[in-house]
Amino acid sequence: MKRVMLVTVLALVGCQASTNLDDVSADATVGGGLPKGFLWGGATAGMTIEGGLTDTFTEWEKGTYPDGRPHIRDDQRSTVATDSWNRFDDDLAVIEALGSNVYRFSLEWSRLEPRQGEWNAPAMARYREWCARLRAKGIRPLVTIQHFTLPVWVAEQGGFENEATIPLIEAFTRRAVAELAGEVDWYVTVNEPNVLAVQGYLDGVFPPGKVGDTVTQTRVIATMLKAHAKMAAAIREVDTIDADGDGFATRVSLAHHVRYFQPASHDVLDTAIAGLTDDYANEAIPRALKTGRIFMDVPGAITLDEQVPGLAGSVDYLGLNYYTRDMVRADLGSASLSQLTYRPNRQLNDLGWDLYPDGLYSFLVRFSAYGWPIVITENGIPDTAGTQRSKYLVQHVAAIERAVRDGATVAGYVHWALIDNFEPIEGFHARFGLFSVDTTGSLKRTPTESAAVFKAIGDRVPR
């Protein structure tokens, strides 16, 4: 734990060696320094690619904010998305072209159980077939059970605001995983509890669209962690088949979103709030997974301190989603006690996020102290012009290699996203794909320049 604290302090004051953003000389060798057996591939989630869904997010899409703005930029809809529900052939061709040995995608609970107790067997069979087809090509399926969406009937009962959702998602997990046993070893239970809670209860940009409610936000995260513990136990119970022959029938984690927080100034209050924010958003979840104790503190609003049976030991690896860095300015009048900004004079991406590979390095070293291997389950960049992703990729893989040299245990890298996808909030305005998708008509998948870079790095990754 001492090491964790030291790295945290170093991270907060920004003291570690840094990656030169203009140095892409590593280009020709990067990837070769990753460990043997490394997982390498792309990611999607059902809500962003499948089309034809009815869930909490498709309902949210139809709505507007009090000032009349549509919830999704330009009032776009995910009705068709990239039509991946019907175009697995196309997606598989992309996965293969990229030289992947893993593909992360999600199940859609709303599709599999559209009404309580009603099971869509043909849809389940299709997901299973996807897994079998991936495996036949030597590609491991990494299956996310819940990625942001809930069936409307679950939300009507309170969603993750209500602990009664825990047995529902546990039962869903048990049933779906039983069907996938023998095809899948790698699982993510829930995607980004902190993002779902912050966007849904603090910023009001995800359903249910509540604003400034850090109390419910914190309880939702805790409920999702409890759900994760039950889901993990269910997965291990029903899937006892080692599909890929590596000696493990299941590898379970959740996908934890981290952001690299630095104080916006040397002001003591900015430093203190940056530390609190880091603990709440970044540290609390892995700490809870290790110790079984959820401790989350928003001073003046809520201090949640709870020991959860089954949470300690519930992950076999840590799934880490990393994109960017934020500068933290104390704002004691706001619900989160802070304002997040970006550092001036930095190269930013299409959504104005700072490009900061050293943040990834720092989290890999820091969280390796917990003892699990880490799989980067998301890392990527919205880049419509296609001018930044190649460099972003090279620099982030170089950061991973540097972390590995410094003792981090990293078992895989999964890029967000495999193809352009329908983003929550931004719709098709934010283009994350290694392959672009013609969303104006043909839905054809076309490699971006970064696809060749991804493939070239992958070819050097020791398999």
Interface stretch with ligand BGC, choices 1-9, 27-35, 157-165, 189-197 (CB under 6 A): 189-197
In what helix (H) or strand (E) does residue 304 lie, and over which residues does it extend?
Answer: strand 302-307
Q: Which one of 219, 228, 256, 257 is in contact with ligand BGC (CB under 6 A)?
A: 257
Q: If DSSP codes are grouped into helix, strand and coil, which group holds residue 388?
A: coil
Least distance in angstroms from the C-beta of 9 to ligand BGC: 26
Q: Does 192 bind ligand BGC (CB under 6 A)?
A: yes
Least distance in angstroms from the C-beta of 423 to ligand BGC: 5
Which C-beta is closer to ligand BGC: that of 30 or that of 261?
A: 261
Q: Which one of 161, 388, 423, 428 is in contact with ligand BGC (CB under 6 A)?
A: 423
Least distance in angstroms from the C-beta of 267 to ligand BGC: 29
Interface stretch with ligand BGC, choices 65-73, 123-131, 191-199, 268-276 (CB under 6 A): 191-199
The pair of structure tokens assigned to 231 is 């889901």
Q: How far is CA 249 from the centre of its chain?
A: 23
Q: If DSSP codes are grouped into helix, strand and coil, which group holds residue 22?
A: coil
The pair of structure tokens assigned to 386 is 């296609």
Which C-beta is closer to ligand BGC: that of 46 or that of 263?
A: 46
- Measured CA to CA, the distance from residue 176 to residue 429 in angstroms comes to 33
CA distances from 106 to 193, 239, 372, 440 (A): 15, 17, 23, 25
Q: Is the distance from CB of 330 to CB of 267 less than 8 angstroms? A: yes
Q: Which one of 60, 186, 187, 416 is in contact with ligand BGC (CB under 6 A)?
A: 416
Which C-beta is closer to ligand BGC: that of 30 or that of 284?
A: 284
Q: If DSSP codes are grouped into helix, strand and coil, which group holds residue 119?
A: coil
CA distances from 294 to 64, 181, 373 (A): 35, 31, 21
Q: Does 326 bind ligand BGC (CB under 6 A)?
A: no
Interface stretch with ligand BGC, choices 63-71, 188-196, 301-309, 383-391 (CB under 6 A): 188-196
Q: Which one of 165, 191, 368, 395 is in contact with ligand BGC (CB under 6 A)?
A: 191
Q: Does 107 bind ligand BGC (CB under 6 A)?
A: no
Quote the strand ranges of 10-167, DSSP E. Answer: 39-43, 102-106, 140-146
Q: Does 232 bind ligand BGC (CB under 6 A)?
A: no
CA distances from 133 to 65, 103, 136 (A): 42, 11, 5
Q: How far is CA 215 from the centre of its chain?
A: 23
Number of other residues whose CB lies within 10 A of the CB of residue 335: 18
- Measured CA to CA, the distance from residue 306 to residue 137 in angstroms comes to 44
Least distance in angstroms from the C-beta of 182 to ligand BGC: 27
Q: Does 401 bind ligand BGC (CB under 6 A)?
A: no
Which C-beta is closer to ligand BGC: that of 136 or that of 385?
A: 385
Q: Which one of 7, 39, 45, 169 is in contact with ligand BGC (CB under 6 A)?
A: 45
Q: Does 415 bind ligand BGC (CB under 6 A)?
A: no
* Count of residues that bind ligand BGC according to CB under 6 A: 10
- Measured CA to CA, the distance from residue 311 to residue 287 in angstroms comes to 10
Q: Does 173 bind ligand BGC (CB under 6 A)?
A: no
The site for ligand BGC (CB under 6 A) is made up of: 45, 48, 191-192, 195, 257, 321, 378, 416, 423
